[in-house]
Structure 1
């Protein structure tokens, strides 16, 4: 198992996972921008035997990390890879001395909400009509950096 920074040649695999997993996926152009032009952005991929099985995107802004995307290919779900990626994000945020990590998640995505809560995130607000594709609300979840890993 290897976690490394996403490179341009990884984009097609990540875009395919985005389309497999999400109703409002990131485009190839979005991801190219994130890894080549956005100085605040880091996207990591999780690789097993040279296959990308998951990824996490984050923006490191001032005193906090914002998780922008997280995905694990459907055929690789249920093996704890999301927690591995979350723990890497927490490790990086801790190393940078950040106060918290935040993210938005669909209110209907109970599986993701459970994952984030197991990592110490708390629901702090509802963002009404957040998702453009379905007009679904999102929870804003924040993790204060006292806890250093997911359970």
Structure 2
């Protein structure tokens, strides 16, 4: 597997990005300002993440997704760790990530990768998404914010 920055002339893997964020509008907006990285295996894109500069010396991991056939194989952790290394190499001092209150596996993954919970944006998904999102039989309402000093 190789993780690389998406080339300027390449189409982003929108189907994969929409697995992590169902709002095409939001994905398209942050894709304009962020940097997209893809994981490839045998010429196929199997994972993706997007880094978005938010403040001086701070970058946010705004999207991370793995194709369903590769779930449970540690690829998500490899992508998160790669994003941390890329952020460090670019001189960022802090990396942040936000995920839904219903994203139990993702919350655990981020903490295993060194992130700490820093806050909760109450009703974020109610305010920003027109349709209700359910995960693990829990309604996704709040954005759990995590960060890590680099």
TM-score by length of structure 1 reads 0.80
Aligned to 2:17: 18
- In the TM superposition, 1:1-150 aligns within 5 A as 1-7=1-7, 8-11=9-12, 14-19=13-18, 21-22=19-20, 24-26=22-24, 30=28, 34=31, 37-38=32-33, 41-61=34-54, 62-131=56-125, 132=129, 133-134=131-132, 136-145=141-150
Residues 15 and 28 of structure 1 are in contact (CA less than 8 Å); yes or no, is this contact kept in structure 2? no
Tell me the CA shift for residue 23 of structure 1.
6.2
Mapped contact 1:102–1:143 kept (Cα < 8 A): yes
CA displacement at 1:82 relative to structure 2: 1.0
Q: Which runs of 5+ in 2 are unaligned?
A: 133-139
* 1:25 positional shift: 3.9
Structure-2 change in CA distance of 1:6 and 1:122 (3 Å): same
Unpaired runs of 5+ residues, structure 1, are 146-151
CA distance in 1, matches of 2:83, 2:22: 23
Give the Cα–Cα distance (whole angstroms) in 1 for the partners of residues 117 and 26 of structure 2.
30
Partner of 1:149: none
- Structure 1 residues 47 and 10, CA, compared in 2 at 3 Å: closer, same or farther? farther
Aligned residues: 137
SS at match of 2:10: helix
Deviations 1:111-135 (A, max 9, x none): 1001100011111111011112337
Question: What is the TM-score with the length of structure 2 in the denominator?
Answer: 0.80
